[in-house]
């Protein structure tokens, strides 16, 4: 996490000027920066969905992409695969733009900007969602707590209350607690909460297969993200690998030529899971912060830079500076959950 004091410094004009100077000096090849976005939208546009998943507003995203188009080298998955498999170095300032979860707002707000600027991107898809009228468990929990009459209503749903706690704080606490359960139990608990709360049947916020296939024809690269989006340290290693491989096969059945790439849901993994994936995937992306030196990095433990709408643009740019890779040891490659 990036604390408030760092964000404050990053908003100063002097900080931005320093980052600009350092960007101009960069010449080091074969360093990969991977940006991670989830939703691109105004936080209030979908009050029924968790606003914490909004990585950037449409205007913020446009600013990010315009800067990359002018001052970085946006690379494709094929270029990254060539760098890993055939030691073909990536150019200096290489950046891979990625999105997780395939939310609908990508089509409305992110894709037009990417197309206009000619920037390649990757979408990691949890394949159980495009064809089903279902939501991610965290969006369901967010809606339950948002619409609940606390504290009496929360108690009826089996949610412990904390005096003085705001709904957003309750949601974060409950979500953290739910993540500690095995995946199947987590889903059962959320389903029970949903039924007790009387939530109506919900539409899916995820793009359909027809939309994803059309985007792939237009140039979007798709990647595997499991089927049901479990945290892979909350299921057995066998189940984790099965989920990952099944999602790849399903993607390839809809869009021939999908490359063998994967993103760990929620950044959760284990050594056993990584080794199980090695015979099926060429690249896998964690949520561990940092820059990957492709001459040394494990291609199944590649780092990413998570983008938050609270993070100043200059600080995002600073995290992409080549010298930041020396801080990797402060951000160990380990499961995020």
pLDDT of amino acid 251: 98
Tell me phi and psi for residue 185, to 5 degrees.
Answer: -70, -40
As averages over each run of 10 residues, the pLDDT of the chain (337 residues) reads 66 81 86 98 94 97 96 96 94 97 97 98 97 90 81 65 80 92 94 85 90 98 98 96 98 97 96 97 96 94 95 89 79 69
Residue 191 CB neighbours (<10 A): 12
What's this model's pTM, rounded to 2 decimal places? 0.92
pLDDT at 201: 76
| Cα angle 284-288-292, degrees, rounded to a multiple of 5 | 65
The token duo for 42 is 């105004």
Position 149 scores a pLDDT of 60
CA atoms within 13 A on the CB side of 46: 21
What is the structure's pLDDT at 18?
Answer: 82
Contact 179, 337 (CB under 8 A): yes
Question: Strand 283-285 relative to strand 261-263: parallel, antiparallel, unpaired?
Answer: parallel
pLDDT at 109: 97
pLDDT of residue 211: 97
What pLDDT is stored for residue 257 in this prediction?
Answer: 95
pLDDT of 204 reads 87
């Amino acid at each position: 996490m990036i604390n408030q004091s760092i964000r404050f410094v990053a908003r100063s004009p002097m900080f931005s000027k320093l980052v600009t100077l350092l960007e101009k000096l960069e010449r080091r090849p074969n360093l990969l920066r991977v940006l991670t976005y989830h939703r691109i939208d105004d936080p209030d546009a979908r009050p029924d969905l968790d606003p914490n998943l909004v990585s950037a507003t449409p205007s913020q995203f446009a600013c990010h992409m315009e800067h990359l188009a002018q001052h970085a080298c946006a690379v494709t998955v094929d270029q990254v695969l060539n760098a890993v498999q055939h030691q073909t170095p990536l150019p200096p300032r290489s950046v891979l733009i990625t999105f997780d979860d395939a939310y609908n707002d990508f089509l409305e707000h992110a894709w037009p900007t990417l197309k206009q600027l000619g920037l390649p991107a990757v979408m990691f898809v949890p394949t159980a969602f495009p064809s089903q009228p279902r939501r991610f468990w965290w969006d369901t929990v967010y809606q339950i707590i948002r619409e609940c009459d606390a504290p009496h209503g929360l108690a009826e749903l089996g949610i412990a209350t904390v005096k003085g706690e705001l709904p957003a704080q309750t949601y974060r606490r409950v979500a953290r607690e739910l993540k500690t359960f095995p995946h199947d139990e987590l889903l059962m608990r959320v389903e029970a909460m949903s039924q007790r709360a009387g939530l109506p049947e919900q539409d899916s916020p995820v793009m359909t297969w027809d939309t994803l296939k059309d985007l792939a024809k237009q140039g979007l690269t798709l990647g595997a993200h499991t089927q049901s989006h479990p945290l892979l340290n909350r299921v057995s290693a066998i189940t984790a690998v099965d989920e990952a491989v099944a999602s790849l096969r399903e993607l390839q059945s809809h869009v021939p030529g999908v490359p063998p790439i994967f993103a760990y849901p929620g950044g959760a993994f284990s050594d056993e899971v990584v080794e199980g994936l090695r015979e099926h995937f060429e690249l896998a992306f964690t949520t561990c912060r940092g820059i990957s030196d492709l001459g040394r990095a494990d291609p199944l433990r590649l780092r990413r830079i998570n983008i938050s709408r609270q993070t100043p643009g200059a600080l995002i740019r600073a995290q992409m500076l080549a010298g930041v890779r020396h801080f990797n040891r402060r951000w160990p490659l380990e499961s995020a959950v």
